[in-house]
Amino acid sequence: MTSLPIQGLIFDKDGTLFDFNATWGAFTGVLLVQETMATPEALDPLAQALGYDLTTGLFRKDSLVIAGTVDEVVEAAMPFLAETDPEALAKRFKAAAILAPQIEVTPLKPLFTQMRDAGLILGIATNDAEIPARANLGSVDVTSFFDFIAGFDSGFGGKPAPGQLHGFCEQTGLHPSVCAMVGDSTHDLHAGRAAGMATVAVLTGVAEHDELALHADVVLSSIADLPVWLGLQS
C-alpha cells in the first residue's frame, strides 16, 4: 500500500490498459504482410527492423514499436517499403490501429469506476496518436473516465519527455507530487520521474521486472493491483 496522497493517475495505453502482444501481435503480422504484398522479399527485413517475430507473432522487448511514436515507426519502416510518402504510410498505420481489437489486461470499467468513486482523477498519456487512442478507449467504453487524453500528436510531445504529464497537471489543477504515472515501459517511468510524479510499473507489456524496477517506485503485476496499492481495498 502506498503512503502517498495520490489524487491523480495518468496511464499509458498499450501494454498498460491493453495487453501489448495479445492486442498487437497477430494484428501486426497481417499489417506487415499487407504492406509488403508488392515486395514480399521485404517482409522479413521489415519485421526485423520493427522488432517483430513473424514466427511467434510477438514483439521483441527492444522493439521500437513498444514505446515509439507512429512517426518513429514510419521512419524505421520506410526503407523496406515501396511507399515514398511517410505521411501516407502514417495515415495507413493510424487507420489500422483504430481497427485493432483491444484485449483488456483486466476488466477496465469496474476498475475505473472504483477509482473515480474514490475521487481519483484519471488521464491517458500515450505515444500513439490521439485519434486511434480515443478509438481504442471507446471500443471498450471507457473514454468518459478520463479527464485528459493525450497522444504524441496532441501538442505536448511524446514520452519519455514529461510534456503530456505536465499537460495533465495543468488541465486538472493537480500538483505532480500527488500524481502517479502508470506504465509498462521505461519511457513511461522516465516521463513520470521527469514530471515529479510517483512511478508505477506494470508487467503487462514486454519489459521485464528488473528493467522496470530500476525506475519505478513500485512494480505491479497489472493495473488490477492498483486498488490495493492505493489503499482502496485490502
Q: Where are the alpha helices (DSSP H) in 78-158?
A: 86-99, 108-117, 130-139
2 vs 205, more confident: 205
Cα 78 from Cα 37, distance rounded (Å): 15
Domain chopping of the chain, boundaries? 8-18+102-230, 21-99
Is the whole model's pTM more than 0.85, yes or no?
Answer: yes
Tell me which DSSP letter residue 54 carries.
T
Which residue in this structure is represented by grid cell 513498444? 66
184 within 8 A of 201, measured Cβ to Cβ: yes
Yes or no: domain 8-18+102-230 corresponds to CATH 3.40.50.1000: yes
184 within 8 A of 202, measured Cβ to Cβ: yes
pLDDT tens string 123-137: 999 999 999 999 999
pLDDT level of residue 1 (50, 70, 90 thresholds): low
* CA angle 50–67–152, rounded 5-degree value: 115
Percentage of the chain modeled with pLDDT above 70:
98
